Amino acid sequence: MSDDVDRAVTADGVADARMATLPKVELHVHLEGTISARTAADLAIARGDDPADVLVLDTERTDGPNYPHPFRDFLHFVDTFLASSAQVRGPADLRTITAAFAAGQVEQGVRWSETTFTAVTMEQRGWTPAAMWTALIDGLATQPGTHVGFILDTPRDLGPEVARRSVALASDALAAGLPVVALGLTGIEGSVPAQEFTLLRDAADELGIGLVVHAGETGSAQDVMDALDVLGSDRIGHGIAAAADPALLARIAEDGTVLEVCPSSNVTLGIVASLDVHPIRALRDAGVALTVNSDDPPFFATTLTAELHHAVRLLDLDEARLAALQRRAIDASFAPAALRAEVHAAIDAWLRAG
Ligand SMILES: [Zn+2]
């Protein structure tokens, strides 16, 4: 964890012990983005590779393998991310990283997570869909204390044909009993126009699941508008570019569009200069329904708990407002109704215990 994260974690108004027991909800976290540098190195070593040859690591660190921090730019992050996820070479590895992810969510008191998984990329490595679904289901089964819904995404730079394959995979996964809650559109903004991906909205409706689009992260307010108007995205992944456009801000506040804000991700990728100038305050002041998320936590030297501490500090939240932030997240989720009720009840109990 970086010095910046350490400082912020202790400099806010909700005690660590209370934060630890808060029932949490996370809507924006990538499964392949939860692979720690240690896990990636161990997977490499297990097959006889030198981690320094196959991973992008911070060579200055002496306390074990660690990703660079901060990244030089978005592509430096993408290279680091892809080198790490390339270590997941078979279903046994996928099960390992899924179980590790779920254990980390349990440790933080996360009751419900919506986790993006790029099944098309794994399939391109020659895996059968059935083997993937079994690995994910078995990995989750090791941690019954948390619940996960998967978002099967298409990196937009791969184009609409790959999106069509993602839809087929989502349909297959649902039939196999994997809890898929939405389709996703991720990847490099501006690479392929939103209009090319309207098939995703139709397919989501047909499958009875949601659609969540990353927009306005490295892109513009126009990308956010396209995600809403062209694609009918149910929420917006990031969306911070909306802060630069008062008319769009007013509109998404009015519509109650939920943004999945990931503060440390934006800072580590150099999209925002620091947490202190992050537009999260401007979004909140405009009345936007925001949630707080970790995105790719070990790559950004963070956790969901650390991101919630940042929110407490940056938005000056008390316990009631922090609880409301988590209620909003479960209300904006695709979780089953019974689980949503359970999370609300757990938050009620947490507030009473304060
Ligand atoms: Zn993301």
> Nearest CA to 79 among 188, 207, 176?
188
Q: What's the CATH number where 169 sits?
A: 3.20.20.140
- Please say whether the beta carbons of 27 and 235 come within 8 A: yes
Mean pLDDT of the chain: 94
CA of 270 to the centre of ligand 1 (A): 15
Same domain, 139 and 252: yes
Task: Give the three-class secondary structure for 42.
Answer: helix
Q: Once rounded to an integer, what is the mean pLDDT over residues 40-48? A: 94
Q: What's the 214 CA to ligand 1 centre distance in angstroms?
A: 7
- The verdict on 130 and 245 lying in the same domain is yes
Inform me whether the pLDDT recorded for 38 exceeds 60: yes
Q: In which band, very low, low, confident or very high, does the pLDDT at 12 lie, cut at 50, 70 and 90? A: low
pLDDT tens readout for residues 88-116: 999 999 999 999 999 999 999 999 999 99
Could you give the number of structural domains in the chain?
2
Q: How far is the CA of 107 from the centre of ligand 1 (A)?
A: 22
CB–CB of 210/227 below 8 Å? Answer: no
C-alpha 29 to ligand 1 mean position (Å): 6
Is residue 95 one of the residues assigned to a domain? Answer: no
Boundaries of domain holding 329: 3-35+109-352
184 plus 299 within the same structural domain: yes
Q: Are residues 346 and 228 in the same domain?
A: yes
User: What is the total residue count of the chain?
Assistant: 354
Give me the active site residues, please. Answer: 217
Whole-number Å distance between alpha carbons of 345 and 354: 15
- Cα 139 to ligand 1 centre (Å): 21
Residues 124 and 267 in one domain: yes
Asked whether the CA dihedral 45, 76, 116, 17 is positive or negative, the reply is positive
Residues 266 and 143 in one domain: yes
Domain membership flag for residue 73:
yes
pLDDT tens digit sequence for 139-182: 999 999 999 999 999 999 999 999 999 999 999 999 999 999 99
